[in-house]
Structure 1
């Protein structure tokens, strides 16, 4: 059974991450499920919707799988790069994408949210980058997409201080477009998808070209280089880290 349930709801194709006990973290199976969701060729699908099950939207990359690969750096880089390419694929989808943020969105979950064209959050959702809280740095686009979404000052608070925002705070910063009661989230997104689907599809496709801000490729590369340097240092252990200086 795939941990991603893909279902057709009117003109929208929904992907629901369902990994109980992990916060819907992205392991290889989740990535495969989301890749399959993105690969739909049904011309009647006008909108793609991403959500999670339970109290989590997505907790980001699966740390258990990532940690198991620390001794195999090429495999670890491939795992993380797959997530990076997944986020970029969401951002480049040929139809509008909506994040139905049902709960906690941290790390790679935030990056998936940022990749979507529109994000609608349940009032109970909590959102943050949180890489720094677990001794990590982003690699799927937070440092690139977050400043575009909320401005550089607010982005630095999430990235450097590891803050978590309520859904209302995220809306105040422009990270999500609106906040609705948790019990109304899916019906609200269904209605939004129906409104988009009623529009001229050719015009919508062309609107995506101008509505999606351009990507700073140098910033994407700098983030990836920083991540690979960080995981290599972690694999090498304390002996590879510079000693603290005493004055």
Structure 2
């Protein structure tokens, strides 16, 4: 069974990452499931895409166990991480609104998935943060690019450099999520939101997304990727030292 459960709820196509025992971390199978979910946006009946998680996590980011297993095969590791990077960038370009229904912890790559979505609604118990630094890593799926656009450069630097986390309420006050609802109300609230979006003129929505989505500097994406690959190369070299 796929670790991503894709469900049609009215006009919206939901993807629920279903690896609660691993914090809904993104391994290769999750990336495949999310790629298939994004392909569903080509269905003219789909008017919104919604991403959420099972249990207490939205997404803990890239699967560190899988990544560590590939440290001895740098090309394979880069290919895995590049899949995640391309997925995040694709979320930000689909022709329908994308909604993060943040049911729990969104750290690392999970934060990057949140940032890629047009609208983020958080459950009251959710917590968010970059957290790459807490595990000795640097981002590669867009935190350094998208976070300053969401909360401003000063707060972005704080989250990136300290690895601290924010409550759902703090994330809303800082503009990282648009609103916070009770945990039990999250799905119904997002259903109402997607029904509202579906009632709008579809061509106008596509053009509004083109206007409303931030202009992202391609050089910033390149700098982040180059920094990550250099960091991974250093880590691989360190592991070869007797």
Secondary structure of residue in 1 paired with 2:20: coil
Question: Quick one: distance in 1 between partners of 2:22 and 2:144?
Answer: 24
Partner in structure 2 of residue 51 of structure 1? 52
Q: Distance in 2 between matches of 1:126 and 1:176?
A: 11
TM-score calculated relative to the size of structure 2: 0.98
Report the Cα offset of residue 239 of structure 1: 7.7
So what's the TM-score if we normalise by structure 1?
0.96
Distance apart, 1:238 and its partner CA: 6.7
Question: CA 1:230–1:186 in structure 2 vs 1: closer, same or farther (change >3 Å)?
Answer: same
1:73-114: per-residue Cα shift (whole Å, max 9, x none)? 000000000000000011111100000000000000000000
Aligned twin of 1:150: 151
Question: Aligned with 1:237: secondary structure?
Answer: helix
Secondary structure of 1:208's counterpart equals helix
* Separation in structure 2 between the aligned mates of residue 197 and residue 20 of structure 1, nearest angstrom: 30
Structure 2 segments unaligned to the other structure (5+ residues) = none
> Gaps spanning 5+ residues in structure 1: where?
241-247
The alignment covers a number of residue pairs equal to 240
1:42, distance to aligned residue in structure 2 (A): 1.5
**Residues 1:104 and 2:105 are matched in the alignment:** yes
Runs of 4+ in 1 over 6 A off after TM superposition: none
- Cα deviations by residue, 1:129-184 (Å, 9 ceiling, x for unpaired): 00000000000000000000000011011100111000000000000000000000
Equivalent runs, 1:1-247 vs 2, <5 Å: 1-40=1-40, 41-237=42-238
What is the match of residue 244 of structure 1? none
Structure with bigger gyration radius = 1
